[in-house]
Structure 1
Amino acid sequence: MRFLTWLVTNAVALAVAAWFIDGIRFTGSTETSEKIVPLLVVALILGVITSFVKPVLQILSIPFIIVTLGLFLLVINAVVLMLTGWLAGQLDVDFEVTGFWPAVGGAVVITIVTWIVDALIGSDERR
């Protein structure tokens, strides 16, 4: 159940980011029903990258994070989103992030939406 909640949370956050940010988009068909599978695949890719690559980037960036009082974490989140877009392209999933600034905006939107969805769904400990 926890995996499903995590996947849905990532998918909702990605969908909202693609809706609000110009440089983040699901290419291909315009039908919403045909975008659900790519959305779930990209959510899975984002989750895997967040689980394995992001901690390494954070450890390597500790001096920058301290000097910028944590703002460099936004850059790391943007890089993770850009890496997700690149990897999705390599796997022929119709998702793209067109540049650094759209990735920064997407990282902010994804973070906020994830907080909201987690607050609405609730964590496993509260159930």
Structure 2
Amino acid sequence: MNLIIRLLLNAIAVFALANILNGVTVDGYTTAVIVAIVLSILNLIVKPILVILTLPITIITLGLFMFVINACIILLADKFIDGFAVSSFWTAMLFSVLLCVLQSLLHSFLKADKKSSN
């Protein structure tokens, strides 16, 4: 149940950011849910491989290269999903940073709600 709530919160974040940012388009709510699922799968499978392959440059840049990896994951999701489009690499990087911040806020509300119900 918690996984479904997290995916729905991620889909809400994707849909909200697509309406705010000019270079990102999402066709509808179902596409936003699909984007959330695909991003979760890519973060689970592809991201660890990219992190290991780019470990030296990530260490040299003190972890800032992770922004580039996150933007690449967003662009990869763009290639897989028809109703989701990102116009450029820099837009993907901005989308990635804002998505991370928005997801953190939404998930913190979920944790605060769980603590108050106990």
Identity %: 30
Higher relative contact order (CA 8 A, sep 6+): 1
2:71–2:92 Cα contact (<8 Å) kept: yes
2:68 to 60, 71, 75: 75
2:15–2:29 Cα contact (<8 Å) kept: no
Partners of 1:45 and 1:63 in 2: CA distance: 27
Partners of 2:65 and 2:17 in 1: CA distance: 20
TM-score w.r.t. structure 1 length?
0.83
Q: Give the structure 2 partner of residue 57 of structure 1.
A: 50
Q: Give the structure 1 partner of residue 107 of structure 2.
A: 118
Q: Which amino acid aligns with 1:71?
A: L
Q: Which amino acid aligns with 1:38?
A: T
Partners of 1:3 and 1:64 in 2: CA distance: 33
Unaligned runs of 5+ residues in structure 2 are none
Q: Give per-residue Cα distances to partners, 1:84-106, cap 9 Å, x unaligned.
A: 111103xxxx1111110100010
TM-score w.r.t. structure 2 length?
0.89
Residues 1-127 of structure 1: matches in 2 within 5 Å? 1-27=1-27, 35-89=28-82, 94-122=83-111
Shift of 1:81: 0.4
Name the structure where helix makes up a greater proportion of residues.
Answer: 2
Query: 3-state DSSP class of the match of 1:111?
Result: helix
Shift of 1:119: 0.5
Number of residue pairs matched? 115
Question: Alignment RMSD, CA only?
Answer: 1.7
Partners of 2:58 and 2:20 in 1: CA distance: 27
Q: Which runs of 4+ in 1 moved over 4 A?
A: none
